[in-house]
Amino acid sequence: MLTIAIQKSGRLHDDSIKILKEAGIYIDNGKDQLKTTASNFPLEVLYLRNGDIPQYLRDGVVDMAIIGENLIIEKGEDLEVVQKLGFSKCRVSIAIPKEREFQGLEELQGKKIATSYPNTVKNYLAEKGITADLHQISGSVEIAPSIGLADAIVDIVSSGSTLFKNNLKEVQQILKSEAVIAVSPKISTENNQILDKLLFRIQSVLKARTSKYVLLNAPNDKLNKIIEILPGMKSPTVLPLAKEGWSSLHSVINEETFWEVIDELKANGAEGILICPIEKMVL
């Protein structure tokens, strides 16, 4: 049986359960239990602190984990990341009090920096030839400058509202992060095969999340142009309509180019365009 670590509670918890569920794997949500087994897949789930997961992976206590990429950079550079998951996107940045001017990183030389991610900060500053006085705290980092604990902070930023509320401004991004799947170096051959099955399902879910199914009607004399715009998985399906001289086209489009494609389709004679979600996409 494959063992996975999921965050017990916090930013990653709900979306981690959701992606497993969409991959057809049913598990308890870990509110009362720290350990559970999937009812329909050979998977054991341990609910753990995000910060403890790199060590559990290294020791082989768990075979794989859903974890923030930033934590792999902080504590698990030796661990293998096999899949990005597209949620819990954030960045790790340097911030200073809003009213202070900032010319460049040299200003941090010898200064006090509060952070939960000391290795990340140390490595980043060393690369830039700067030495600072790091003060490690495990939470509420943004409060440090206002209570005289530090001159600057390094922490996670997403919307920026925590910085704003604490009178801080982001001056330098160090890295970008999202949820990822990391794998233990000690995973067995048998469990690696189960992992491959799980990854295949998760990739189908991720692909479907960024794709839409499109149906539209078009006059036959415009079909060639519309087929050029709508490439599809292989090529679009074309079916005749009951109305003479018209066809229905079915295809798949990517969310990133979605609105441009729709505008182009309309400009080239497409009518009655329907867009539907796709549940899974197996390529």
Ligand X SMILES: O=P(O)(O)OC[C@H]1O[C@H](OP(=O)(O)OP(=O)(O)O)[C@H](O)[C@@H]1O
Binding footprint of ligand ATP on the chain (CB under 6 A): 7, 10-12, 49-51, 68, 70-71, 88, 90, 156, 158, 177
The yes or no reply on residue 268 touching ligand X (CB under 6 A) is no
Residue 63: name its binding partner from ligand ATP, ligand X, none (Cβ under 5 to 8 Å by kind): none
Q: Which residue's CB is nearer to ligand X, number 11 or number 169?
A: 11
Query: Is residue 85 within 8 Å of 178, Cβ to Cβ?
Result: yes
Q: Which residue's CB is nearer to ligand ATP, number 16 or number 211?
A: 16
Q: 102 to 141, contacts with ligand X by CB under 6 A?
A: 139-140
Residue 68: name its binding partner from ligand X, ligand ATP, none (Cβ under 5 to 8 Å by kind): ligand ATP
Q: How far is the CB of 187 from ligand ATP (least distance, A)?
A: 22
Q: Which residue's CB is nearer to ligand X, number 83 or number 162?
A: 162
Radius of gyration (C-alpha) of the chain in whole angstroms: 24
Placement of tokens 């598990």 in the chain: 27
Both tokens assigned to 92: 């790790």
Neighbours of 236 (CB within 10 A): 22
Residue 155: name its binding partner from ligand X, ligand ATP, none (Cβ under 5 to 8 Å by kind): ligand X
Q: Which residue's CB is nearer to ligand X, number 63 or number 142?
A: 142
How many residues of this chain bind ligand X (CB under 6 A)? 12
Both tokens assigned to 135: 């003060």
How far apart CA 37 and CA 23 sit, in angstroms, is 15
Phi/psi at 62 (5° precision): -120, 150
Residue 85 DSSP symbol: -
Residue 258 C-beta-side C-alpha neighbours within 13 Å = 14
Q: Which residue's CB is nearer to ligand X, number 156 or number 226?
A: 156
Residue 50: name its binding partner from ligand ATP, ligand X, none (Cβ under 5 to 8 Å by kind): ligand ATP
How far apart CA 146 and CA 11 sit, in angstroms, is 26
How far apart CA 241 and CA 162 sit, in angstroms, is 55
Phi/psi at 197 (5° precision): -65, -45
Give residue 112's identity as a one-letter amino acid code: K
Q: How far is the CB of 113 from ligand X (least distance, A)?
A: 15
Residue 224: name its binding partner from ligand ATP, ligand X, none (Cβ under 5 to 8 Å by kind): none
Q: 143 to 182, contacts with ligand X by CB under 6 A?
A: 155-162
Q: Which residues bind ligand X (CB under 6 A)?
A: 11, 139-140, 142, 155-162
